[in-house]
């Protein structure tokens, strides 16, 4: 299915689901008013109040032991100079652009998409929204973020701020020390981990203003979207992704700012990043 067809299909599906939800929540008149304007009714916004100035590291430490997506080469490092030898330590590292906590640039899936050096700096600092599906992920390794999860977040915190970075928190980051548990390869030979649904990705592109999307798992797509539909929708719309995020469960659901330290590899499809959240 092509990118446009995917977006058209999931957007119409989402719209019909929104209609149902809004009718239930506020009656037909309120639903019509909401459809006419994307602005939430005043008083809907209710932010948490995190301690100002707190910095959260959303980055996994990267070593050869960090789990990698099948087909990729694990991180490795060779010492090329030592303090005992020539007076300074340096290593030559080998890394795939998609190992560890890393950015997916549009060029990862889109032929003429921006490479990682071309992502505007202004998009790498953004209001952070954390959507927690950890309760569902405990029972269902293939759980995905649905449009209703975004709407439930908005019921509590107000509409996603313009230019938001929206991250899925599934609790999966706590498995990263155990590659078998993190990759969770089933008897079917497939990886099973939480991710974004294409319908939620399309909702963010069509109905909201976002700069990017994150996951605390190894990919934005899981077995429920085997053709990487969420990647295609998000990267095809010029947004970027961040995979293998850590510690999202400790960050306020709303009110923090994310700083994505993407590398500027010319021609790069992405690359390892230091990612911080600041309240």
Active site residues: 108
The smaller minimum CB distance to Zn ion, of residues 98 and 208, is found at 98
Distance CA 156, CA 135 (A): 17
HSE-up (13 A, CA, CB side) for residue 212? 27
Helices and strands (DSSP H and E) totals, the chain: 6, 13
Q: The tokens of 198 are what?
A: 């294409």
**Is residue 104 part of the contact set for Zn ion (CB under 5 A)?**
yes
Judged by CB under 5 A, the chain residues 136 through 195 that form the site for Zn ion are none
Question: In the complex, what is the shortest distance from the CB of residue 190 to Zn ion, in angstroms, rounded to a whole number?
Answer: 18
Q: How far is CA 43 from CA 39, 68, 154, 158, 159, in A?
A: 11, 44, 12, 8, 11
The residue behind tokens 């010492």 is 79
Size of the site for Zn ion (CB under 5 A): 3
Rounded-to-integer distance, Cα 110 and Cα 160, Å: 26
Question: Residue 136: exposed, middle, or buried by beta-carbon count in 10 A (0-12, 13-18, 19+)?
Answer: middle
Q: Nearest approach, Cβ of 98 to Zn ion (angstroms)?
A: 4
104 or 207, CB closer to Zn ion?
104
Q: Applying CB under 5 A, which of residues 22, 60, 98, 231 lies at the interface with Zn ion?
A: 98
Q: Does 239 bind Zn ion (CB under 5 A)?
A: no
Residue 21: how many other CB atoms lie within 10 Å: 16
Task: Decide whether 161 or 198 has the Cβ nearer to Zn ion.
Answer: 198
Rounded Cα distance between 134 and 141, Å, is 10
> Which among 50-58, 92-100, 168-176, 206-214 is the span making contact with Zn ion, rule CB under 5 A?
92-100
Residue placing its CB nearer to Zn ion in the complex, 229 or 243: 243
CB of 140 to Zn ion, least distance (A): 23
Q: Does 231 bind Zn ion (CB under 5 A)?
A: no
Q: Give me the 193-212 binding string for Zn ion, x by CB under 5 A, dash otherwise.
A: --------------------
As measured in angstroms, the least distance from the Cβ of 166 to Zn ion is 17
Of the pair 103, 133, the CB lying nearest Zn ion is at 103
> How many other CB atoms are there within 10 angstroms of residue 205's CB atom?
20
Which range, of 44-52, 56-64, 101-109, 251-259, touches Zn ion by CB under 5 A? 101-109
Interface with Zn ion by CB under 5 A: which residues?
A: 98, 104, 243
């Amino acid at each position: 299915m092509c990118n446009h067809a995917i977006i058209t299909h999931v957007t119409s599906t989402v719209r019909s689901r929104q209609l149902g939800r809004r009718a239930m929540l506020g009656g037909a008149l309120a639903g019509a008013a909401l459809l006419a304007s994307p602005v939430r009714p005043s008083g809907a916004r209710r932010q948490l109040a995190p301690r100002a100035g707190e910095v959260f590291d959303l980055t996994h430490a990267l070593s050869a032991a960090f789990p990698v997506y099948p087909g990729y080469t694990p991180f490795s490092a060779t010492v090329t100079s030592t303090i005992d030898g020539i007076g300074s330590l340096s290593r030559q590292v080998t890394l795939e652009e998609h190992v560890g906590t890393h950015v997916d640039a549009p060029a990862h899936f889109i032929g003429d998409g921006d490479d990682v050096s071309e992502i505007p700096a202004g998009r790498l600092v953004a209001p952070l929204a954390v959507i927690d599906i950890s309760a569902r992920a405990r029972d269902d390794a293939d759980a995905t973020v649905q449009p209703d999860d975004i709407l439930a977040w908005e019921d509590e915190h107000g509409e996603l701020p313009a230019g938001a970075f929206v991250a899925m928190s599934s609790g999966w980051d706590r498995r990263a020390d155990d590659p078998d548990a993190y990759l969770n390869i089933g008897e079917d030979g497939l990886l099973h981990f939480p991710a974004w649904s294409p319908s939620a990705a399309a909702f963010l592109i069509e109905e909201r203003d976002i700069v990017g999307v994150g996951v605390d798992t190894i990919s934005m797509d899981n077995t429920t979207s085997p053709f990487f539909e969420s990647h295609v929708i998000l990267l095809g719309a010029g947004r970027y992704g961040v995979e293998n995020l850590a510690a999202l469960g400790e960050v306020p659901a709303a009110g923090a700012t994310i700083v994505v330290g993407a590398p500027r590899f010319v021609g790069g499809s992405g690359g390892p990043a230091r990612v911080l959240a600041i309240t």
